[in-house]
Structure 1
Amino acid sequence: MTRKLIYIIVIALLTILIWIYRSSNFEFSNTVLVLTKNNVIKDTLIQPHNLTCNQSPFIVIIVTSYVGHVELRSAHRRAMPSTYLSKLNIIRVFLLARIPENEKYITQDAIRDESKIFGDILQGSFYENYRNLTYKHLMGLKWASSVCQNASYILKIDDDTVFNIIKTYDFLKGIPMADSNDFLMGYILNNTKPRRIQQNKWYVTWEEYSRNEYPAYLSGWYYIISPKIAAMISAEAIYHPFFWIDDIFVTGLLVESLGLKLKQLPKDYWLEYYELLECCIRDMIKKSIKCDYIVGPNGGRSNLIVEFNEAFANCQKWSNCTTRPKDHDLKKECVMFRDRTIFSDGQAEVHHINL
């Protein structure tokens, strides 16, 4: 009787230990599952079709998109139709995950229909969740660097990012070929500290991240990477402790682990607030002043990417837009209210504007 009781206790303890081990390694196991080459290419709900990397695309655009953001994906397609991108030797893929149970406004059949029409969706088998963005991000890099390994560049963006593809294209065409193979450039965020307030969207426990400061990393809104570096990062992710904030993990912790260097986008490339983009659009339309900026947030306005690219295209088409005078800086003259910063605490800011 005593021996039987000992066996039961031993089995119970082993069961508990196995459960603890599996729970503590859940993220690691998921990362391995997502990044294994065969799984990325085969173990997905939907694969892109009507896209080919046989001709070595100049740019592969991977767009992180929530499965229910149908309107945002539509705006990207209207702003930059696939036929237009094809002429520039560019392909675009939207990165989605499995529909969560609490999602009431989209069905898997609808996503399949969208895929049949456009052929530009890569849908992972993991569920949509803010803490699963790391899987989606890495899935995109792994797919692009393996299926399109002969591409010159991979452009990673979020679906709520506004950007101009022509200026992006022209910028990358100006990069010396010798520098294009080891390329990792974006908006660098330095000296960012973990948010320890539970109410914050990016709240991180000491168990999740024990350091007082994050390494330098790139904003996930928009960055450019070579397939070689994307493949290195994807491979490194399998062996690195998981972290759920995707841009910090992918372009910060993994880049740090690999000893790679980040490159900063040129000055006047980036606008932090959507109101500034609106001012740029207004000046192109009403004052025929070119907008020299390339990237910014849409501020919840899905159609802003369409308006921005249309205004820029008209400037080119009509050849009537002039360069902005140096004494009329957009950031100083555009009257705006700041909704947020790229990585804010959500605290209010008050600034006096001289009119």
Structure 2
Amino acid sequence: MGGGKLPLPSLQLRCPLAAPHHAPRLVPAPAPGRPAAPARLDPLWALRPRGGAVEPLPGLLAPRPGLARAAPGPAPPPDPQRGACGAPGPPPFLLILVCTAPDNLNQRNAIRASWGRLREVRGLRVQTVFLLGEPGWGSRGSDLVWESAAHGDIMQAAFQDSYRNLTLKTLSGLSWADRHCPTARYILKTDDDVFVNVPELVSELVRRGGRWEQWETGVGPPRKAKAGDEKWDGSPTLGSQPVPLLYLGRVHWRVQPSRSPGGKHQVSEEQWPPSWGPFPPYASGTGYVLSASAVQLILKVASRAPLLPLEDVFVGLSARRGGLAPTHCVKLAGATHYPLDRCCYGKFLLTSHKLDPWEMQEAWKLVGGSDGERTVPFCSWLQGLLGILRCRLIAWLHS
């Protein structure tokens, strides 16, 4: 695949990411008293037939036009983004975007009660935000309204929430982060059934060279990327200021598209013609890390990539079009579920997939504890060795 445009037949992308008035908003925390119902949001993306009106499309549903607004409540704060990234103090070192479904309240609460409650690790700020679309008919949308107002950690965009719209959800989250949290150093995209070992992940990113950046010492954030100033030879830079580019995850190579009709991961020949071959390398969507400069790059080239329903493949394709290759990290579990093991989770894994709410909190007790401190004795040397070997064996069997 070259660097040229690969258009989707008969479809065009409207409502570009760069339009600030289409930006999704984080619902602010409520004023004292009864929580306020958040207002609905304008669509960020819409798929339209050429020359036609918005209409549902198979697999990728367009947002419904003319969304009604919720009943007004107490006036919101002047800046609804301050609760996420504009609070006093240093900017977030790590912003975690969790893709979730409207009905997955138990999963969100398990994260809030475990690894999502951390706000600082090694003196570096951490922030967790949940990404949602519009609930479908029959969903408990009113409960979501009050949950949003109570916690102030939900970013909702106006498109139908479904698995096949995960690309829209992720792009809206990355766009929101770039627009309203530009000083965040790293972005982790993950899902609500994934356990994240936040302290170890922060340590991993620090080891990869995060602490020396000027933004952390208060000099200021890296400047925004502009068209034409990318340099991909040698060390990556944006203009004259060094900005490390990082796309880190459990990488999949040479994956062929699934053509199974009606399958969860189906990609039609219209969306990805057979002549294009396998997908480019991409990091598993269960958990990958992007540096702020990588987020800017992906958003800038995303409109030139075919809009696929597979979010992780789409991000990998966009990264490739910008000249950025994913970095493989076996500690990010991908789609693998690891049995609960204190040494494996505490000394090796950065993420683990397919944890239910009970397992999420049990893993947190093993690794973090109620206040980020371990509540049980940690591994001996021999236990640690055996636990890490067990983890590596599972990772090898699933690679």
Q: TM-score, normalised by structure 2?
A: 0.67
Bigger share in helix: 1
* Mapped partners of 2:323, 2:158: distance in 1: 31
Comparing 301-310 with 153-162, greater Cα deviation is found at 301-310
Equivalent of 2:325, from 257, 261, 281? 261
* Mapped partners of 1:260, 1:188: distance in 2: 13
**Alpha-carbon deviation of 1:116?**
1.2
Counterpart secondary structure, 1:238: helix
Counterpart secondary structure, 1:52: helix
**Alpha-carbon deviation of 1:330?**
1.1
The corresponding residue for 1:61 is 96
* Structure 1 pair 180–207 and aligned structure 2 pair: CA distance change class (3 A): same
The corresponding residue for 1:93 is 129
The corresponding residue for 1:186 is 249
* Structure 1 pair 235–175 and aligned structure 2 pair: CA distance change class (3 A): same
Query: Which structure 2 residues correspond to residues 126-165 of structure 1 after superposition, within 5 A?
Result: 126-165=159-198
* Mapped partners of 1:226, 1:76: distance in 2: 23
* Structure 1 pair 181–38 and aligned structure 2 pair: CA distance change class (3 A): farther
Cα contact 1:271–1:277 (8 A) shared by 2:
no
**Alpha-carbon deviation of 1:255?**
1.1
Q: Aligned pair 1:322/2:322, yes or no?
A: no
* Mapped partners of 2:348, 2:327: distance in 1: 20
* Mapped partners of 1:187, 1:332: distance in 2: 13
Q: How high is the sequence identity, in percent, across the aligned residues?
A: 22
Deviation string, structure 1 residues 120-151 (Cα, Å, up to 9, x no partner): 01000111122211110001111112211111
Cα contact 1:63–1:94 (8 A) shared by 2:
yes
**Alpha-carbon deviation of 1:292?**
2.1
Q: Aligned pair 1:70/2:105, yes or no?
A: yes
Counterpart secondary structure, 2:269: coil
5+ residue gaps, structure 2, are: 1-7, 26-40, 43-68, 71-79, 214-241
* Mapped partners of 1:173, 1:333: distance in 2: 26
* Structure 1 pair 333–189 and aligned structure 2 pair: CA distance change class (3 A): closer
Cα contact 1:189–1:219 (8 A) shared by 2:
yes
Counterpart secondary structure, 2:266: coil
How many residues in Structure 1 have an aligned counterpart in Structure 2? Answer: 300
AA at the equivalent of 2:19: T
Q: TM-score, normalised by structure 1?
A: 0.75
The corresponding residue for 1:277 is 339
**Alpha-carbon deviation of 1:159?**
1.0
The corresponding residue for 1:201 is 264
AA at the equivalent of 2:390: L
**Alpha-carbon deviation of 1:233?**
0.9
Equivalent of 2:289, from 210, 216, 224? 224
Cα contact 1:290–1:322 (8 A) shared by 2:
no
Deviation string, structure 1 residues 145-174 (Cα, Å, up to 9, x no partner): 221111111111111111211111111122
AA at the equivalent of 2:304: Y
Comparing 323-332 with 64-73, greater Cα deviation is found at 323-332
Q: What RMSD, in angstroms, separates the aligned Cα atoms of the two structures?
A: 3.1
Cα contact 2:93–2:125 (8 A) shared by 1:
yes
